[in-house]
Structure 1
Amino acid sequence: MDGEPVIGPLDGGQTLVATAKRTVREVASSELLCGENELFIRHGDELYRLKLTRNGKLILQK
């Protein structure tokens, strides 16, 4: 997202970033994980697992 104008910070460490078509909300992974190494995300009827690895990478699994 380099070079895109930042609209402004939100509560909870989130930022709004303007793109050519829409404004996209940016959220720090630490805000999602809340100190844990994984969380589950429900999307429709599916459940996904977001995991933080020992190397600091994120993995999204179905």
Structure 2
Amino acid sequence: MDSKIQASKAKSTRRRVLEYIIDETMLKVGSEFVWLWVATEPENRQILALSISLKKETCL
């Protein structure tokens, strides 16, 4: 069987981001805590970066 896979190029445009908003939030999901970090551009409301991680339990 001869099959060819054609790669497609993703269109990308570079823009200078002059301002951004960072939101850091800790959520409780079931019995676990999840740390959510999001950077957004306010003008176009685009997500620039996103990070989700589990928070290790600490004694307070």
Q: Shorter-chain-normalised TM-score: which range?
A: 0.3 to 0.5
User: TM-score w.r.t. structure 2 length?
Assistant: 0.36
Higher helix share: 1
Question: Which structure: larger Rg?
Answer: 2
Higher relative contact order (CA 8 A, sep 6+): 2
User: TM-score w.r.t. structure 1 length?
Assistant: 0.35
